[in-house]
């Protein structure tokens, strides 16, 4: 079973950047699709980005408009989410998740993923 631990969240001013990390242990991380989701207070968990095992294929939520970049380093069992030009509406708890089937779909639902981290808080405020 894979354990996922997110890090890198914090308080940042609008327009600035943050890089989140998702470190995995256990299981065969290399072959899993990894996704990032976020959940703001009072809202449902929503898809942000995902990446397949090879890192050759990625999907992003339409609302991001190119501001975020997902990447992975299988040698380090880590997936990253580079978040640029942050806005107040990006404030949320960010979760990474692993899909052991290795499938990659354009807009996955949370139930597509088998393992979840505990989340890291990102707050964008001046």
Interval 91-99 mean pLDDT: 97
Q: Is the pLDDT of residue 98 over 90?
A: yes
CA distances from 54 to 64, 65, 86 (A): 22, 23, 27
Q: What is the pLDDT of residues 107-117, one digit of tens each?
A: 899 999 999 99
pLDDT for position 107? 86
Q: What is the pLDDT of residues 26-83, one digit of tens each?
A: 877 888 999 999 999 999 999 999 999 988 899 999 989 899 999 999 999 999 999 9
**b/e map 54-66, b = 16+ CB within 10 Å:** eeeeebbbeeeee
Query: Which comes out higher in pLDDT, residue 97 or 56?
Result: 97
Task: Indicate left, alpha or beta for 89 from its phi (over 0: left) and psi (-120 to 50: alpha).
Answer: alpha
Interval 75-103 mean pLDDT: 95
């Amino acid at each position: 079973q894979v354990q996922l631990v997110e890090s890198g969240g914090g308080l940042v001013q609008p327009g600035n950047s943050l890089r989140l990390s998702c470190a995995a242990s256990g299981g065969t991380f290399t072959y899993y699709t990894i996704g990032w989701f976020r959940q703001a207070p009072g809202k449902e968990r929503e898809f942000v980005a995902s990446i397949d095992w090879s890192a050759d294929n990625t999907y992003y939520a339409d609302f991001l408009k190119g501001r975020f970049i997902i990447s992975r380093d299988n040698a380090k069992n880590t997936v990253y989410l580079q978040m640029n030009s942050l806005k107040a509406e990006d404030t949320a708890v960010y979760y990474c998740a692993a899909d052991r089937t290795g499938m990659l779909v354009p807009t996955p639902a949370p139930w597509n993923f088998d393992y979840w981290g505990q989340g890291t808080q990102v707050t964008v405020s001046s």
